[in-house]
Amino acid sequence: MISKELEIQFEDAVNRVNAHTEPFPADTLLKLYAYYKKATNDYSRPKSKKPIINAFKTNALFQVKNISESEAMETYIELVDNYFLYRE
C-alpha cells in the first residue's frame, strides 16, 4: 500500500518536472517517463509519431516492469531531486 506522504512527494516531484522550462537530457526523460508510467499504473502504449521514440519508450518500460508502484514513485522522486540538486 502506498502511503499518503509518498503520494504527496510524488505529486510534488511531478509538478517540479512539469514546471521546468528547460529541456531534460534524453536519458533522464526516458527514466522519468518509465517510472511515471509504472507509478501511475498507466500501461497505455507510447504514442509518439516517430517509431524510434516509441521503441526507446517501450524499452524504458521493459526496464521497470519488475518494480512496484511505490518503488517507481520513490525512484522518480529521487531522480527528480538529484536532477534539480545542482540546477536550482
Q: Give the integer Cα–Cα distance in Å for 32 and 76.
A: 6
Tens of pLDDT, residue by residue, the chain (88 residues)? 689 999 999 999 999 999 999 999 999 999 999 999 999 999 888 888 999 999 999 999 999 999 999 999 999 999 999 999 977 6
Q: State the amino acid at position 11 in one-letter form.
A: E
pLDDT value of residue 88: 60
pLDDT value of residue 74: 97
Q: Where are the domains of the chain?
A: 4-85
Q: 4-85 — its CATH code?
A: 1.20.80.10
pLDDT value of residue 44: 86
pTM greater than 0.85: yes
